Structure 1
């Protein structure tokens, strides 16, 4: 398969690429690195990415910014960051790719632990994760041409602990290997409309 991985240079993206890269052709995409550049929040940029890559069999998104702040410190703009990037960015990948991804292919998005295990200052992330899960559930029943749509929802990765561990008190890290396997299950398996929880 030819697989686009958006956010390939992040910890989650690297886990997905490591698991799938030995069996498939990986096209790495990102805002500032990779084989092709893309800004998911800009539909035109997403369409340009697809035009450059040509036919693909699967798309994985492991990208999406959110703003972390205390509840009372959010503005509409800072809260919207996560909705624009993590939610609409991933929605853009699906909508723009419906006619591009090969028949029977798949999209795998990324949510995360915060909508089921909240942390202080993480409300925007929780809201974005819940929205991604809702989109997957609702859109999967309308996907054309046998296309499948899932999301992976990992906890804090083991490799991410040095940078983000202090934000997640009491959370047991999940192995990058298991996170990579979750993406393989979505891409290489038969499921659709599922949020694959890795914890």
Structure 2
């Protein structure tokens, strides 16, 4: 399959790229500052240009999404907007613009905070919950194309940086998260939120 991998140069994107390449997929990598194609998916105009440049693909896998972590009292409307733009609207644009360019499926990234909130994670919980709701809604409208999300907890390989944000939560190895992407891309289910 020819797969467009967005957020390909980050920690998760690198692991997903490796897993897909090992399975002999043709992976076209996308990131803001690296990869085969350089686009900022938080800009809808760049998302449209990305698809014009990439051409037809079988699947899109998104490993990109940024949200601010601050105490709720310190989160501004601008912070919430940044989280929604960085994680939700960017992925919605990937799907909306991709409907004419993607033959099989979309796999989006969400996260544990949609189900298990933590202190300083309100913006992330909001964004992750929105992505999951969007996946369920889009699944009933875009058939026969499929859409799923992958919802990990903190990565084992990132505990040194992010572990304090996820107290008491069991970490997950990046290889397990990458396998969830493979399941979404190569499987037949739609409207699912995979929890590795």
Per the normalisation by structure 1, the TM-score is: 0.95
**SS of 2:34 mapped into structure 1:** coil
Query: Which of 177, 180, 185 in structure 1 is aligned with 2:178?
Result: 180
Secondary structure, aligned partner of 1:154: coil
2:165 is aligned to 167
**Pairwise CA distance, 1:89:** 0.3
- 3-state DSSP class of the match of 1:9? coil
Runs of 4+ in structure 1 off by over 3 angstroms are: none
> How well do the aligned residues superpose, as a CA RMSD in angstroms?
0.9
Query: 1:164 Cα deviation (Å)?
Result: 0.9
> Which residue pairs with 1:17 in the alignment?
17
Q: Which runs of 5+ in 2 are unaligned?
A: none
Partner of 1:117: 116
Partners of 1:176 and 1:28 lie apart in 2 by 18
Report the Cα offset of residue 86 of structure 1.
0.3
Determine the structure 1 residue equivalent to 2:39: 38
Shift of 1:129: 0.3
- Note the C-alpha offset of 1:38: 1.5
Report how many residues are paired.
Answer: 195
- The 2-side partners of 1:16 and 1:138 are apart by 25
In 2, Cα distance between the equivalents of 1:95 and 1:195? 19
* Pairwise CA distance, 1:11: 1.7
Distance 1:44 1:12 in 2: 25
- The aligned runs of 1:1-199 (5 Å cut-off) are 1-22=1-22, 23-102=24-103, 105-144=104-143, 146-198=144-196
Distance in 2, matches of 1:56 and 1:90, equals 16
Q: In 2, distance between residues paired with 1:43 and 1:167?
A: 30
Q: C-alpha deviations, 1:88-116, integer Å up to 9, x for none?
A: 000000000000012xx100000001111
C-alpha displacement of 1:41: 1.6
Q: Distance in 2 between matches of 1:174 and 1:131?
A: 22
Rounded to whole Å, the distance in 2 between the matches of 1:38 and 1:20 is 21
How much does 1:163 deviate? 1.4
Ranges in structure 1 where 5+ consecutive residues have no aligned partner = none
Measure how far apart 1:42 and its partner are.
1.1
